[in-house]
Chain A
Amino acid sequence: MAAIRCCLAASKLLNNSIKSCVMYRVTRSNHAPPSSDERVLMLREILRRKKEAGPEKKYHRNTFLEWNYSAELYAFSKRIGENFEGNFLQQAFTQRSYVVKQETLNKDLGLDDPDRFLEDNRSLAAKGEELSRNFVARYLRTALPCLPEEGILHIRDHILKEDNIAKVLCSIGADELILCTDFPTETQTKVSTFYALVGAVEASSGPERGSLFVRDFLITSLSGQDIHALCMPEDKLGALSQIFLREGKEAPEPRIISQVGMNSIIPCYRIGLYSEKKFLGSGAGESIQDGIDNAALNVLWKLWDMPDGKLQFPFDLDVSSVLNNSRSNVPEAEWTSDKVKKQVRPSR
């Protein structure tokens, strides 16, 4: 009996459900272990009760006995390799909601000590967001000097998406350190905490160190992702034709190079694009329109100096040279190869 009760206690169901085990034989000695049949029945019963009770309630890591917040903060700063001055790190993790909650608690308890006032991370988050947006855009412009400005901004928006930033924050182990009232932590909270961290690094060690932080965490989140998927204009052949017309050349014409399996489920059309009878590039697709689109994309990417498969996005550019790069890329509506010829390739 004791053994069976122990097992049920271990499954944490003893707290919620009935305390007496009605299903099992009562007349047993206290020290005999349950037989295998009894164990099977018992396990089945436990599973049924577990499913009935619903999913287990999740608790924050700080509810555990083994939790030392100041030690965690120190370890975090060592993990990311940054030295924070003063109270910046603590401030970066403190959300406004938490500060409000603490203030109301203090008021209720009658503690109105002005020295014990917690700063929230709104100002740091604002500074960090500004630095991140600026730096990411400049970095992309340095890494992809021939890409039109719209492409740069599109990639930047992709990097600065909320889900992406939240994922980065969790991967550096910072989400448990956030002081906030919502649990599980919302994406918006994580985003503001990340920006506040950037702001804290900048405040402690300067804008270059802050930019290095952004480079090593935000920009590297691009690795493994398809950058070319972010640089696809909607009307591919149209975009390419406009570039050629602006340069005073004939608009590219598509021609079928070869076609295979036209009557089958997966035909393959290889389309080549030619301007003034000169070969520009080719692409393949399951339909002629797909082939034309792919060919146009391949030519566009070649013009923008990021050919498919050949592009190596640099993740280790020098931060100070990136910060000094204040020019913006040529917009799509004005893009020609001449304007882009003078661009300097990024130095590693």
Chain B
Amino acid sequence: MSAIRRLMHIVNPSVNALLRKPGSNLLNQNFLSNNQSLPSLTSFLGLKTLSPVSRAAKAFPKTPSHQSTVVDTSVDDERTIEEVISKVNSQIENKSHGRLFAIIQLANRQWKITPEDVVVVEGHWPPNVGDSIRLEKVLLVGSSDFTLVGMPLLRPDLVNIQATVVEKRLSHTKTNFKKKRRKQYQRINFYRYQHTMIRINSITLSAVNEKKDLEGVDGRVF
């Protein structure tokens, strides 16, 4: 289980393609009945993770009713995990991952952002114009070769997202019209929300380390 808990989930199809045997159609596979035709993908990921492969397996279950030999792949799994993590870490150290995107939670909404984006936050939000902000609630960070998925959030020492507040304005006038027909009752309420525009400046990663077995709040404010 520790191998799976330490795992950083790989979702990119090109990586999947590397691990998949040639000529195999995922959905046509009989995953668990015949061990010889097990694709290396499931052996790498383990049976209980949320990979597309095992999701398919769960949808079309074929638990064998007779005894079958279960191959112990934990050593191979550990080795593959170490390889993948070191590859990810080397990309992070050399900064050769290229453009990163992140999914953040901001003002009760989730956004997929990348540097140089402009995000409009609706509603009362304290930060003033010109302020430099760090966005801490990061759910996922991805590049073209790897993705880091937080459960549910990524550690603050792993990813740093900086943004600048660029503008604070009011929305266009919105209306709330109420009417009860034939009762001579109608009301119209005009309102304008505050809009804050922020510009995402940078998303930086630091090396992926051992995941702690016990993780605290890390001084976060939720």
Bound complex: CA A105 to CA B144 (Å): 65
Q: Binding site of A, secondary structure by majority: helix, strand, loop or mixed?
A: loop
Count of inter-chain pairs, beta carbons less than 8 A: 26
Query: Is A311 a contact of B98 with CB atoms below 8 Å?
Result: yes
Flag whether A345 is at the interface (Cβ < 8 A): yes
Smallest Cβ-Cβ distance to A223: which chain B residue: B116
Flag whether B108 is at the interface (Cβ < 8 A): no
Given A310-B98, A310-B99, A345-B95, do A316 and B204 touch, yes or no (CB 8 Å)?
A: no
What are the interface flags for B51-88 relative to A under an 8 Å C-beta threshold, 1 for contact and 0 otherwise?
A: 00000000000000000000000000000000000000
By a CB distance below 8 angstroms, the chain B residues around A223 are 116
Flag whether B96 is at the interface (Cβ < 8 A): yes
| CB-contact partner of B99 in A312, A316, A345, A348, under 8 A | A312
- Near A by CB (< 8 A), chain B positions 94-119 give 94-96, 98-100, 114-116
Q: How far is the CB of B118 from chain A (nearest CB, A)?
A: 10
Query: Is B94 a contact of A345 with CB atoms below 8 Å?
Result: yes
Given A345-B95, A348-B202, do A312 and B100 touch, yes or no (CB 8 Å)?
A: yes
Bound complex: CA A249 to CA B38 (Å): 39
Bound complex: CA A345 to CA B94 (Å): 7
Bound complex: CA A348 to CA B95 (Å): 10
Flag whether A307 is at the interface (Cβ < 8 A): yes
Query: Is A309 a contact of B99 with CB atoms below 8 Å?
Result: yes
Query: Is A309 a contact of B115 with CB atoms below 8 Å?
Result: no
What are the interface flags for B123-134 relative to A under an 8 Å C-beta threshold, 1 for contact and 0 otherwise?
A: 000000000000
| CB-contact partner of A307 in B95, B98, B204, under 8 A | B98
Flag whether B194 is at the interface (Cβ < 8 A): no
Bound complex: CA A224 to CA B99 (Å): 14
What are the interface flags for A171-199 relative to B under an 8 Å C-beta threshold, 1 for contact and 0 otherwise?
A: 00000000000000000000000000000
What are the interface flags for B119-155 relative to A under an 8 Å C-beta threshold, 1 for contact and 0 otherwise?
A: 0000000000000000000000001100000000000
Bound complex: CA A316 to CA B96 (Å): 17
Q: How far is the CB of B113 from chain A (nearest CB, A)?
A: 13
Bound complex: CA A246 to CA B204 (Å): 37
By a CB distance below 8 angstroms, the chain B residues around A348 are 95, 202, 204
By a CB distance below 8 angstroms, the chain A residues around B100 are 312
Residue of B114, B115, B143 with most chain A CB atoms under a 10 A cut-off: B115
Smallest Cβ-Cβ distance to B100: which chain A residue: A312
Bound complex: CA A224 to CA B115 (Å): 11
Bound complex: CA A315 to CA B144 (Å): 21
Smallest Cβ-Cβ distance to A224: which chain B residue: B116
Bound complex: CA A113 to CA B100 (Å): 62
By a CB distance below 8 angstroms, the chain B residues around A312 are 98-100, 114-115
Q: How far is the CB of A305 from chain B (nearest CB, A)?
A: 8
Given A223-B116, A345-B94, A345-B95, do A310 and B144 touch, yes or no (CB 8 Å)?
A: yes
Bound complex: CA A312 to CA B100 (Å): 8
Q: Which residues of B approach A to under 8 Å, CB–CB?
A: 94-96, 98-100, 114-116, 143-144, 201-202, 204
**A-B contacts besides A312-B100, A316-B202, 4 pairs, CB < 8 Å:** A223-B116, A224-B116, A312-B98, A312-B115
Pairs across A and B, CB under 8 Å, 17 listed: A223-B116, A224-B116, A307-B144, A309-B99, A309-B144, A310-B143, A310-B144, A311-B98, A311-B99, A312-B100, A312-B114, A312-B115, A315-B116, A316-B201, A345-B95, A345-B96, A348-B202
